[in-house]
Each structure stands twice: as C-alpha cells, then as structure tokens.
Structure 1
C-alpha cells in the first residue's frame, strides 16, 4: 500500500510538471486564440494587399483570424529567462495531408499578452501531422531544456530551416537566404 501511494504521488508530480507545457495552463481559450492569431501574423503569408511590413495593421487581422482553425499551439512554456517557448503546427500550402512545425521563442507584455519580441528558431520539413507532433515534441523538449536546439540542426529529417541556405531574420520576421533574398 505504501508503494502504491508513493507511485501515485510521483505520477501526479510528473503529470503536473508536464502540464506546464500545455497552452491552456497559461491562458484561457479566448486568450490562447488571440495569442495564436498574433503568432500566425508573424509566421504566415502576408494578408492579401499587405506585405511583411503592413501585415501587422489591424485592418488585416480578419485574414489571420480566418486562418486560425488551420493552426495549433501544440506546446507553450514560460521560462525563467523571460522568454516563452512555443511549438506550433501550421498548414503547408493547400495540402490537406502535410503540416509543418514551427518552434520559437517570444516575449509578451505581462499586462496585455501582446507579443513584444518574436523569433522562429526552427521549422520542420513538411510531414504528416502525427510525425510533426512526434518530432516537434522532441525538439520542443530539447529547446526548453537547453534554450536552443543547435546540436540538432544537421538532422534534416527533423529540421528544414535554418540550414546552409536559409536563416531567420529577426528584424523582418522572415526566412532569408544568404544572398538576402526573402523566402516566406
């Protein structure tokens, strides 16, 4: 009986520790949807008639709200260093089969939950959703343990970008080639 109690206590402890990676542990459903819409604005294509500079204007927000059902905030973790790390699953073009994982970090205004700093750290290759979840979860766990996934950058079955041809440009929030040609 004593062993059963100890096992139950340990199981509950680790379940609670792991739950801090779930977005709903940090936000209500409406707060999460609002934050995810803001994140989509950073990682998705510019809304029609906008560009990478103007897509953050309020008049384009309905486009990103409409895109919300195609995106998932799979994991979220607020670290002691002030960053919130995330793992998001997003669509790939018009493919109903393939998805892409985006792992990154951001800072939020503590009062409004608006993004004040945003960076995509890695993008996974196009994969079926279950594979994106599995590989993205592995990378996310390493990201929150170490603050980076540098040692996995050569694993092209897990990470498509950054690579030898593309890197993330924080000022423009786009992936750029070595020749500074924007790819988004």
Structure 2
C-alpha cells in the first residue's frame, strides 16, 4: 500500500512540474519584468462572480463575517502573489502593496470568475484536486497608460482544506505562471 501511495505521489508531482503556464501574454511589453523598478499591485473584484454569482451576493448568502473574511483573504492572496513573484523575479520588477507615488508601475489583477473548489476533494484526494480556479486579467500601467496585458482562463491552485488556503495556493500558482509567461514572451520579443 505504501508503494502505491508513493508511486501516485511521484506521478502527480511530476505531472504538476511538467504542466505549462495557465497564463497567456496578450499584448504590450513582456520585458517590463526585467526593469529595475517597483510596481504597486492591487486586486480588483468589483465585477467578480464567485460560484456563478456576483461576489457580494455570494458573500451575503454565506452570511456571518464572510465579507470581512473575503477582504482579508484577498489581502493574504495578494501578499502570496507578491512573495512568489518577487521570489521568481529577483533581478527585475518588484511588487509591493505600497501605493507610493514613487512606484513607476501599477499592476491590476481584474478578477472575473472564481470557484473555491471542494474541501472534501482537497482532504480525501489531494494532489490539487478540489483546488480553487480563477479567471482574470492582469494589466500593468505606467501612469494611466497600459503597457502590458495578460489573461488567464482558469489558473488552478492547490488543494488546501479551507477556502482561505486554496485562495493563497491559487495566487501562488498564478504568480509563478505569470512570471513564467512573461519570461517566455520576453524572449520572443527580443
């Protein structure tokens, strides 16, 4: 039994490593990521649908402190995106939540659709089963001018037990895929 579990673990881990990026470069300057500058990041979820409903409606249906928890979850997810981006892009564009006027760029993650996944699948299957999925656009601006645009039609996160952990896992994967996509697109632009 242990051998079967070990074999399955290796199989699923290797499939994840071989997977391509879930983020697509749309237009603009992909090599922006190589600039020695700082970029303020923000998540925009005003038009977001969660589980097929407008996010406010979804939060009201959940009741309790869902809306406050949501805002905290988004902040933590963005922090995870920053950590992952800055870890994979050490010599180039650095992300921060600091909205200082000195920052040359502004990145907006326009969240469109979010599915939180399944706690049951995460617990009993693991290996990414039950993970959250996000459809979003990423725009990078210099002043008011858009200089880079990317999109995802479904980046998938890991299989955490809570919605909060699945959201952080999702944004970690999202950042990794975004950096990978920009590096590939930058090579093509040279």
- TM-score, structure 2 as length reference: 0.35
Higher helix share: 2
Q: Which has the higher contact order (CA 8 A, sep 6+)?
A: 2
